[in-house]
Amino acid sequence: MISVVLLGAGNVGTHLYRVFIKAKNVNLVQWYNRSLDHIYAYQNSVDITDNLNDLVVADVYIIAVSDDSIAQLSKQLPFKDRLVAHTSGSLHFRHMGQNNRRAVFYPLQTFSKHRDIDFSQVPICIESTNKSDLDLLANLAKALNCKSVIIDTEQRQVIHLAAVFANNFVNQLYRVAHEITDNKGVEFDILKPLILETALKVQEMSPFIAQTGPAKRNDKKTIKRHLKLIENQHHEAIYQLLTESIKKTHGIK
Amino acid sequence: MISVVLLGAGNVGTHLYRVFIKAKNVNLVQWYNRSLDHIYAYQNSVDITDNLNDLVVADVYIIAVSDDSIAQLSKQLPFKDRLVAHTSGSLHFRHMGQNNRRAVFYPLQTFSKHRDIDFSQVPICIESTNKSDLDLLANLAKALNCKSVIIDTEQRQVIHLAAVFANNFVNQLYRVAHEITDNKGVEFDILKPLILETALKVQEMSPFIAQTGPAKRNDKKTIKRHLKLIENQHHEAIYQLLTESIKKTHGIK
């Protein structure tokens, strides 16, 4: 049984709370947030606090607050030599207070408050300079039915960067598609099976192999027709740049 | 029972073959391709031909060849006043030969030869100037367990454009993420659950609501760190443009 204190109640914190409280081999002993408002509703399920001086002893302290607040919060912890892990994809752990054993427990997924996540499908990137701490974090991931991967800081930052392309930027392309269909009174819904299939395809084959469409075929007529159809300059710039990118990838000049 | 002659054996043609041959209320009476090589293996299941003069009578002729070949093929058909539908997302049906009743039967999905599609999840965009032809095409879609939507040419072209953003360009971002991870010896696999969740999220909520990440938070530190980390100029241009796009969408200056 691994005892855990969770710090933070944003998107990641709230999802971690849900999965920690359910996990058989995890004992969530306390949930800290700087304001009790966000966690008040959970007081019957877990000990809650907004006072760092009241933090209880645990095997690991998981910090799930914004990147900008991790350094400060970790330095304010009123104890020494305990295992403290942040959950950020991009922050180096040297930014955390040195009084404790610093580590990373980064769940690679997009979290929204009102959407449940199948945590068993979330890879956890773990990092520590200490072998036994690494083991504990791997066991914690295992207790959540997650795969864990030992990743160094540079690799984690690269993963975080790639995740911005594969998640934030992809989602923005969905948004552009939404704007384009909306403008002509077409329901965005009609694109949803295509969106899902596009993501399912690369679970099995590489994006290189999966590519189709006018840019890959170098179908100049269709590309020209599309550019004529686009009414928004900003959408046009994205169309041009990504068409060039596909051509480059597939060796078309 | 609707009798169908299928023309073409590319990605779309092959997928249509598979679903026509299985459908209870469809009688696939013939499969034409300009070269028999591609369809020879199916000769025990369906009448095959590479000769337009041998085409048999059917309720509808479905043309699934490349956009550039549709006009020519439809003009070569050696009969009159029959229902002929193409499957293209962007071609106006006035480009087809005028001897027959022209229509569109456009399955909105990404097709790859070696990947099975759950056709019941594919919306079919249908178009015809003739009410009874429209009914027949709707019934054909229904026989495949598909939803059909009556869409005019301009809307179909807009859907096709939006599909390029939501499929081809999205897939290219997966490719960029693949390049970024590969360059640092990180397995692309680690991103797959994120890719899937990103697509699942917008099945339920709008892309606007689903957005997260540094651009939406206007997290300048992380954006700066990412730009430093990017080694490829081309990736950098995409990062800049899509970051600006997200900021614009979410009203960040």
How confident is the prediction along chain B (253 residues), in pLDDT tens digits per residue? Answer: 999 999 999 999 999 999 999 999 999 999 999 999 999 999 999 999 999 999 999 999 999 999 889 999 999 999 999 999 999 998 998 999 999 999 999 999 988 878 888 889 899 999 998 999 999 999 999 999 999 999 999 999 999 999 999 999 999 999 999 999 999 999 999 999 999 999 999 999 999 999 999 999 999 999 999 999 999 999 999 999 999 999 999 998 8
* A245 shares contact with chain B (CB less than 8 Å): yes
C-beta atoms of A222 and B90 within 8 A: yes
Q: Are residues A62 and A124 in the same domain?
A: yes
CATH label of the domain that carries residue B195: 1.10.1040.20
For residue A208, list chain B residues with Cβ-Cβ distance below 8 A: 175, 178
* A230 shares contact with chain B (CB less than 8 Å): yes
> Please, are residues B177 and A174 in contact by the beta-carbon 8 Å criterion?
no
Final residue of a domain: which of A151, A176, A202? A151
Q: Are residues B112 and B134 in the same domain?
A: yes
Closest residue of chain B to A206, computed from CA coordinates: B175
Q: Are residues A99 and A205 in the same domain?
A: no
> Please, are residues A199 and B207 in contact by the beta-carbon 8 Å criterion?
no
- What pLDDT was estimated at residue A113? 79
- pLDDT of residue A72 exceeding 90, the answer is yes
Nearest CA distance, A143 vs chain B (angstrom): 19
- What pLDDT was estimated at residue B229? 95
Residues 22-41 of A with CB under 8 A from B: none
> Please, are residues A78 and A55 in contact by the beta-carbon 8 Å criterion?
yes
Q: Are residues A49 and A79 in the same domain?
A: yes
- pLDDT of residue A112 exceeding 90, the answer is no
* B250 shares contact with chain A (CB less than 8 Å): no
Query: Cβ of B134: how many Cβ atoms within 10 Å?
Result: 16
Q: Are residues B74 and B145 in the same domain?
A: yes
Q: Kindly write down the DSSP assignment for every residue of chain A, as one continuous string.
A: -EEEEEE--SHHHHHHHHHHHH-TTEEEEEEE-SSGGGTGGGTTTS-EES-GGGPPP-SEEEE-S-HHHHHHHHHH-S--S-EEEE--SS--GGGS-TTSEEEEEEE-S---TTS---GGG--EEEEESSHHHHHHHHHHHHHTT--EEE--HHHHHHHHHHHIIIIIIHHHHHHHHHHHHHHTT--GGGGHHHHHHHHHHHHHS-HHHH--SHHHHT-HHHHHHHHHH---HHHHHHHHHHHHHHHHHTT--
C-beta atoms of B238 and A234 within 8 A: no
Q: From CA B56, how far away is CA A215, in angstroms rounded?
A: 36
- What pLDDT was estimated at residue B200? 96
Could you tell me if residue A137 is left (phi over 0), alpha (psi between -120 and 50 degrees) or otherwise beta? alpha
- What pLDDT was estimated at residue A73? 97
Of the candidates B125, B198, B201, the beta carbon closest to that of A166 is on B198
CATH label of the domain that carries residue A83: 3.40.50.720
pLDDT grade for A48, boundaries at 50, 70 and 90: very high
Closest residue of chain B to A215, computed from CA coordinates: B168
- What pLDDT was estimated at residue A88? 94
For residue B86, list chain A residues with Cβ-Cβ distance below 8 A: none
Nearest CA distance, B160 vs chain A (angstrom): 9
C-beta atoms of A213 and B168 within 8 A: yes
* A76 shares contact with chain B (CB less than 8 Å): no
Nearest CA distance, A44 vs chain B (angstrom): 30
Residue A49's domain spans which residues? 2-151
Q: Are residues B129 and B242 in the same domain?
A: no
Number of domains present in the structure of chain A: 2
Q: Are residues B116 and B181 in the same domain?
A: no
- pLDDT of residue A19 exceeding 90, the answer is yes
- pLDDT of residue A111 exceeding 90, the answer is no
* B252 shares contact with chain A (CB less than 8 Å): no
Q: Are residues A196 and A163 in the same domain?
A: yes
Query: Cβ of B82: how many Cβ atoms within 10 Å?
Result: 16
Q: Are residues B212 and B92 in the same domain?
A: no
C-beta atoms of B149 and A115 within 8 A: no
Q: Are residues A72 and A190 in the same domain?
A: no
Q: From CA B105, how far away is CA B89, in angstroms rounded?
A: 9
Q: Are residues B175 and B140 in the same domain?
A: no
Closest residue of chain B to A194, computed from CA coordinates: B109
Final residue of a domain: which of B135, B151, B167? B151
- What pLDDT was estimated at residue A116? 86
- What pLDDT was estimated at residue B189? 96
Final residue of a domain: which of B151, B181, B211? B151
Q: Are residues B184 and B135 in the same domain?
A: no
- pLDDT of residue A49 exceeding 90, the answer is yes
- What pLDDT was estimated at residue B44? 95
